[in-house]
Chains A and B, each alone.
Chain A
């Protein structure tokens, strides 16, 4: 579902508690079709989770700032400033079709961010941001109402999480919502059968087109 919505040359923002999982699910679509994915500013990205979401690890590259600390790190001697991040992100946009930007890139100034987004649009790449609002977002995905299944009080194991994914953005006239498994038991993101519309009994739940949900 999300892969069909994302257009080349756009910035997609993921916010909320399941932002990282959402971004992986969004990147998985293009990655399966041969696109290379570059990640920056997201140290600690779970590679097993990425692989389960469908991102092809053979086409994944990460650029890690030295002393790779999180977004609000102290001023360390080698940490990258706006200039360095600008150069690195520009090179990433030029070479990769999908660029995943995490909170670690927040050191970029708004002017630089605007230039990078312009470069992105010219190049036709896609930026998926995770908690990095400085780049703006043409589309914004937010997951709400997370409910994990499978855990009890001292027993069981987490099997999956149901969320309501909300899609907003400039080109989306009214916010759209759909309930999804994110992740399902095998790690992928897949839609729940649509409860609102009547569904025939023998219908196998396939991907729900976004305009029919919510």
Chain B
């Protein structure tokens, strides 16, 4: 079919696991926002799948090693492969670490055939990736008409261990696609998962089933998306509808008078440029699907890459890719001068129909940044030091909520974690709640105006009104009581002699205006919280 480019796709399955470094039989998973993003073969053998929750993974595979998702690290490591392959093929396009697309026509002629081209490129890539690859993964290279077929060919090639070349032409592509499951449309083709599920539920399990239906019926039943999917399944043009080259003049660039040496500054500028670009595209109802990023130094060294994402690149995605590109560039070439030019050029744009921003959709940029920061903080500070709130239930101020380690929580979906626990908790204090909670409660002294410690009888009768509270040593720790309320007795678990608690709580307002929540239990006074 004229116009459909012949593409080669180089794909390494579960690249994040390769980068994490795993022994051949070690189950390793990479987790992002508490869900599995990539797993090793050994983990797959134990039943781990992509999208599974962390705890389910541990249940299936108790010895699994869990690594945090780190796209920067993955991109840096993949950059070595990209550099190596870029020496063999003229123009590459990157989507995410682990996948690489290139135009196959030119290199095929250069290498004398697609088969030898594939073999050469796989060998180059494997050599560049180094030792961790051989143990747990291998590259698959697929050559076919169009991105979708080439991507699927690459997956098949990775399974088999041999590059796979699909013959050119509609029929050959359709024949190749026919036995493949419909789910590949979502995984590789960027089609929304709900639509693919619908096809599945209607009994269309393989692409061949879909291709066998008459085009008019499919279009009538499913609309333009159905028509598009049907066309793909028949081996047709798989370029997303309504993508085209944008009108000229949309590129944004910044020329620096002084060469810039720090990548932080460049990333900051890139953020501004990306913001401008996204805004100007959005004003036309478009989103950039293919972005050319160019950085040039004073001495003429260039770094030029094409980045593609079927769902469109938002500002954060653009900045992320610029950062990957700059990191890789600085790492692999000793740059002799600072950068004087940074350009973002939208090569291809598509209609902006509010597509999902991320793999698990519905999350914002702030959510993504926060989750990555949590992962980094866990790495720096430790798992037990990074905490998030969880509802626990209780009538004491420190019991209603608790802090739990962030790694054990689903940050993307806090509703379950924070839903109120248990019944009405009679005896709990009304709002406003204290801002500072002491757990365990601090021992203090509360005395009446004769200096005798205040006591509360079993019937809840106070021996004398509290006059002074001693919070700390010295005269600075003595506070006069201006107002107070209580006792509010709590008799917890009276049926359980080992765990029963009888506490009488008071609110005490000192003359300096501080409100304290104190309690007496077994004759000992403690400061439970302060309203500060």
A residues near B, CB below 8 A?
Answer: 17-21, 24, 34-36, 38, 44-52, 57-66, 84, 87-88, 91-92, 94-97, 122, 145-148, 150-161, 183-187
Number of chain B residues close to chain A: CB under 8 A: 57
Bound-complex Cα distance A108 to B97 (A): 37
- Do the beta carbons of A57 and B414 come within 8 Å of each other? yes
- Do the beta carbons of B373 and A92 come within 8 Å of each other? yes
For B529, the closest partner residue in chain A by CB is A46
- Do the beta carbons of A44 and B436 come within 8 Å of each other? yes
Within 237-284 of B, Cβ neighbours of A (below 8 Å) are at: 264, 268
Chain B residues with Cβ under 8 A from A122's Cβ?
A: 264, 268
Bound-complex Cα distance A76 to B485 (A): 39
Partner among B386, B507, B531 whose Cβ is within 8 Å of the Cβ of A63: B386
Bound-complex Cα distance A185 to B433 (A): 9
- Do the beta carbons of A58 and B439 come within 8 Å of each other? no
A-B contact pairs, 8 of them (CB 8 A): A36-B369, A47-B401, A61-B386, A63-B387, A84-B380, A154-B462, A157-B429, A158-B485
- Do the beta carbons of B376 and A152 come within 8 Å of each other? no
Cβ proximity bits B370-400 to A, threshold 8 Å, 1 near / 0 not: 1011101100111011111100000001001
Bound-complex Cα distance A95 to B368 (A): 9
B130 within 8 A of partner (CB): no
- Do the beta carbons of A19 and B532 come within 8 Å of each other? yes
Bound-complex Cα distance A147 to B438 (A): 23
Chain B residues with Cβ under 8 A from A84's Cβ?
A: 380-381
- Do the beta carbons of A47 and B370 come within 8 Å of each other? no
- Do the beta carbons of B513 and A147 come within 8 Å of each other? yes
For A56, the closest partner residue in chain B by CB is B414
**Most A C-beta atoms less than 10 A away, residue of B433, B434, B435:** B435
- Do the beta carbons of B380 and A185 come within 8 Å of each other? no
**Most A C-beta atoms less than 10 A away, residue of B268, B364, B387:** B387
B195 within 8 A of partner (CB): no
Chain B residues with Cβ under 8 A from A88's Cβ?
A: 377, 380-381
Bound-complex Cα distance A59 to B417 (A): 12
For A160, the closest partner residue in chain B by CB is B432
B351 within 8 A of partner (CB): no
Closest 7 pairs (CB-CB, A-B)? A95-B373, A58-B414, A47-B401, A48-B433, A146-B513, A36-B370, A151-B483
- Do the beta carbons of A158 and B367 come within 8 Å of each other? no
Bound-complex Cα distance A61 to B374 (A): 8
Partner among A58, A184, A187 whose Cβ is within 8 Å of the Cβ of B418: A58
A35-B366, A36-B366, A52-B431 known; A153 vs B397 contact (CB < 8 Å): no
Chain A residues with Cβ under 8 A from B384's Cβ?
A: 66
Cβ proximity bits B169-190 to A, threshold 8 Å, 1 near / 0 not: 0000000000000000000000
- Do the beta carbons of B433 and A52 come within 8 Å of each other? yes
Bound-complex Cα distance A34 to B365 (A): 10
- Do the beta carbons of B483 and A20 come within 8 Å of each other? no
Chain A residues with Cβ under 8 A from B438's Cβ?
A: 44
Bound-complex Cα distance A85 to B113 (A): 58
CB A190 to nearest CB in B, in angstroms, measures 12
Chain A residues with Cβ under 8 A from B514's Cβ?
A: 17, 146
**Most A C-beta atoms less than 10 A away, residue of B264, B432, B437, B531:** B432
- Do the beta carbons of A91 and B431 come within 8 Å of each other? no
For B389, the closest partner residue in chain A by CB is A57
B515 within 8 A of partner (CB): yes
